[in-house]
A and B are shown apart, each in its own frame.
Chain A
Amino acid sequence: MTRTRGSALLWLIFTVLLFTLISCSLLKIALGDLRVSGHLVNAERAQYAAEAGIEYAAAILPWQCRSLAAGWQYQQTEPPEFAVTAEAESSSLLRIHAQGRAGGMVQDVEVLASLRPLGKQALITQQLLAQDLTVTGHVAADEVVFRETPTYIAGDLRTAWLEEQDGGTYHCSGYLWGDIRPYALEVDFIGLAQEAALWGWTEPDCAGEVYQVDGSQVGPLFAPGKTAIALQLPWEGLIVALGEVTLQTWVPGSKVMLVAAGEVELAGVDEVWEGSLFIYSGEKIYCDPGGQLQLAGCLVSPLLELTGLKITYDDQTVLNQLELVPAELLQVAPTFDLQWLELAPRR
């Protein structure tokens, strides 16, 4: 009896030790789970940090699209912590890579960014007078007046002031933005004239004080006065005109970028101008109100007076002439279209 006294204490100590051991094991498992959860949270934070890097690059790089040939990089050391690099695949395509970091976790994200030099805005103006107008693309105008027949906009309408006159209405499939950046675009034609003289741009033939562009000349063209464009052949290039311009005939497949100091008239009646057309006028762009004209492109001017026009946003001609485009035009509202790449496809 005496020899077995104290065995209960041993059992007690053994039991306590056993359960201490079990508790420690459970604690270790719980701490492991906590660590795993922490890694998951940090991985998520790193992913968002990397995406923030992409968005940062996408917000500022469109404005510097001409100076990206040598690449670009940026590092942010404060949360969200990321490092971004951009490499030019072509003059209008960038590969942007971002690496996000959080709590020791690293995540990579990569996108292909295609430049949209005019931010998908088919019409950019101070004042738009629209009648029987159909736009596929955004419209940016300080003031808009819709007259008589309805206007259809498949995109956003960005305007500070709009009015419906004489029964005119509009249908906009996108957002209506009231808070806009006012139109303040002025192209430096003196600089363009100097550039044309320096690089020896072609001057079209002049007949009766009107420069004639028929598509047979090699671009870029510089017309120092009133100009008539009546294409006979598919033509691609830049035309700079210091006077009024009349666009009379079009040949399908043409890609024309017209930068004019004076008014520009679109004289096509019941025609479809296939191809790509960008027009900047320092004064006004207007259509012949007698018929219907359909084109793909973009119109930029302080005043747009458009009747019977069907326009679909297209920036191909601007992209083709990117090296020659006046710098001011690339500062209007450039954006990127982002294609997010799956770096490690699971299947």
Chain B
Amino acid sequence: MAVSLLVVVLTAVLTILPWGGQGWERQTTQSNGQQHARIAMEELVNELLYAYRIEVNPVMGMITYYKENRGDLQRYRVYLLGEQLLLDLPEGTAVPLASCIEGIILHPAGTLYPGDVLTLTLQVNQQVRHEVRTAVVAKNLTGEAL
């Protein structure tokens, strides 16, 4: 009786285990990609929220923004290099924000004005096939007359 039960359990387990393992691996990769996208998105939103000026170039997948530092506006730039999302700092160095990012979709294009909603979509690489989208309204934008 016990032998039969053991055989049944082992058969079930050995059948499910490799399938579960593959699923686990797949989910880990996906989760990793999503984590990268989430971190990138959080960084981007946090940076853009306090920007005083934002210029968007959807064709190049590039956002140039300016933040105040000790009374001066300093330039930052976010862009994609390979699958890495990089941030150019005012000092001239670039730091990685996230990996596994295949594409960045931005809307609208050009200089943003107060109240404009910037929609950001990050496409995580092909293995994961996932998109993360958010929208941000920068709080300190100035522009036009008022």
Residue contact A155 to B145, C-beta cutoff 8 Å: yes
Q: Which of A6, A15, A174, A342 has the most chain B CB atoms inside 10 A of its CB? A: A342
The digit string for A1-43, where 1 denotes a CB below 8 A from any CB of B, is: 0000010110110011001000000000000000000000000
B29 interface hit (Cβ, 8 Å): no
A338 — which chain B residues lie within 8 A by C-beta?
Answer: 139
A339 at the interface (CB under 8 A from B): yes
Complex interface bits, A127-141 against B, C-beta within 8 A gives 1, otherwise 0: 000000000111000
List the B side residues contacting A6 at CB < 8 Å.
2
- Any B CB within 8 A of the CB of A230: no
Q: Is residue A120 within 8 Å, beta carbon to beta carbon, of the partner chain?
A: yes
Q: Chain A residue with minimal CB distance to B139?
A: A340
Measured as residues with beta carbon below 8 angstroms from the partner, the interface class of chain B is 20 to 34
B6's contact among A8, A313, A345, A346, by CB below 8 Å, is which? A8
Q: A12-B9, A15-B13, A19-B13 are in contact. Are A120 and B95 (CB under 8 A)?
A: no
* Alpha-carbon distance A173/B144, docked complex (angstroms): 10
Hey, what's the 0/1 contact readout for B10-32 against A, CB within 8 Å counting as 1? 10010000000000000000000
Interface majority SS on A: helix, strand, loop or mixed? Answer: mixed
A120 to B145, CA, bound (A): 10
A346 touches B43 (CB 8 A): yes
On B, residues with C-beta under 8 Å from A are 2-3, 5-6, 9-10, 13, 43, 46-47, 49-50, 67, 69, 76, 87, 89, 95, 139-140, 144-146
A/B interface sample: 15 pairs, CB < 8 A: A8-B5, A12-B2, A12-B5, A12-B6, A15-B10, A16-B9, A120-B146, A154-B146, A312-B145, A313-B146, A340-B50, A345-B69, A346-B43, A346-B46, A347-B76
Q: A6-B2, A173-B145, A174-B146 are in contact. List 9 more A-B contacts (CB 8 A).
A: A8-B2, A12-B5, A15-B13, A19-B13, A120-B146, A138-B146, A154-B146, A340-B50, A340-B140
